Amino acid sequence: MSVDASPSTVSQPADLEAVARNGSRLRRMAVRIPTYLADLKENPAWLPMFMLARTMPGRRLHWALSARYKPAQEPQPSMFGPLEASAVAEALRSDGIFTGLRMPAQIQQEIGNFARITPCFGNFDRSLEFVAPRHRDAEQRFGRSLLSGHFFERSLRSAGVRAIQADPLLMNVAKHYLGASARLITTRVWWSFPTKNATEADRSLASLDKFHFDLDDWRMLKFFFNLVDVDEGTGPHVFVKGSHNRRKIKHQYTLMVGHPADEVLDYYGADQAVTLTGPAGSGFVEDPFGFHMGTVPVTRPRLMMEVGFGVSRPSRRRFHGEPVIKR
């Protein structure tokens, strides 16, 4: 027996997949709406940036109107050695990323020790407080998966974090790349944990397993440092080289910043995706307008540090990466 069904009455597999994708995108965006509203309330200039900085014409105009950086003196010594800030900036203009940073072992160890004994907040929620070595116990105690653990303002209790944040190379690179108005806007340290049954909302807030670009400012630069050894099982960061310089029309004129991996890699090139593994203390700097994502650890936790630079007035609330969560 056969049944004659027309395409207009029965969804085909491709149609169902599209519906699922759109539903996932909308759920991820809905999770971020309270944060967006808080950003707008704090700084009304956030809205034109959010609408226009995702487009290449808007970004190019903003870059063209920015004041160029003219170094007035020799750069100060850096813990990262004799790197030329101008050369790093040139690599960023070409690829959107520069690897090869290495923090001193004692700095890495101090931050790592700090992160193991200082309570963090699970899934960005200040009511879910625990120390990282007790992650499994905390999941049982709170009755939910804990995908991430952020330190928020506690990050600056670490002398190593403060030293990295203040290192002259970082600001020098930022000014060479972003222009004279470059300023520090974020400093954060966080854990990503292997866990089961993490919700879509938790993954979205943690920016994991979804290619996306950042829209926290017109122009940004972010330094990342691995504070534990990171391999394929530790949830490495992934960046698509060159995607900061060109943008598919579909990826400009939409409110979505996240897009499916196959869609991103088909357009920007699967061979341009760089998986950033490395030993504890290794680091890299990227233009976060390029497509990137964190991946979920499967074997052991990942501990990361980020120092971000932009060109607009920084948000006091967002300085340590804290979103607004609707309860």
Q: Indicate the pLDDT class of residue 18, thresholds 50, 70 and 90.
A: very low
Position 26 in a domain = yes
Residue 3 maps to a domain: no
* Residue 327 predicted with pLDDT over 70: no
**What's 264's domain CATH number?**
2.60.120.620
Cβ burial 238-249 (10 Å sphere, 16+ → b, else e)? bbbbbbbeebee
By the 8 A CB rule, do 314 and 233 touch? Answer: no
List pLDDT tens digits, range 248-293. Answer: 999 999 888 888 889 999 999 999 999 999 999 999 999 999 999 9
The pLDDT assigned to 206 comes to: 72
Kindly provide the b/e burial profile for residues 37-49, where b requires at least 16 CB atoms within 10 angstroms of the residue's own CB. ebbeeeeeebeeb
Is there a domain that residue 223 lies in? yes
Domain assignment present for 175: yes
The predicted pLDDT at position 34 comes to: 87
Which of the four pLDDT bands, split at 50, 70 and 90, describes residue 21?
very low
Answer yes or no: is 107 within a domain. Answer: yes
Provide the residue type at 27 as one letter. R
- Statement: residue 13 has pLDDT above 50: no
Q: Report whether pLDDT(57) > 80.
A: yes
- Please give the model's pTM, rounded to 2 decimal places: 0.89
Instruction: Specify if 280 maps to a domain.
Output: yes
> Residue 29: which pLDDT band, with cuts at 50, 70 and 90?
low
Assess if residue 4 is contained within a domain.
Answer: no
Is the pLDDT at 37 greater than 50? The verdict is yes
Do 205 and 218 touch, CB atoms closer than 8 A? no
Specify the DSSP class assigned to residue 75: P
Please give the Cα distance from 166 to 144 (Å, whole number). 37
Task: Indicate whether 6 belongs to any domain.
Answer: no
| pLDDT (tens digit per residue) in 145-202 | 999 999 999 999 999 999 999 999 999 999 999 999 999 999 999 999 998 888 777 7
When pLDDT is cut at 50, 70 and 90, the band that residue 74 belongs to is: confident
Distance (Å, whole) CA 178 – CA 287:
10
Please give the tally of structural domains in the chain. 1
Is the pLDDT reported for residue 27 higher than 70?
no
Tell me which residue range forms the domain holding 212. 13-71+83-319
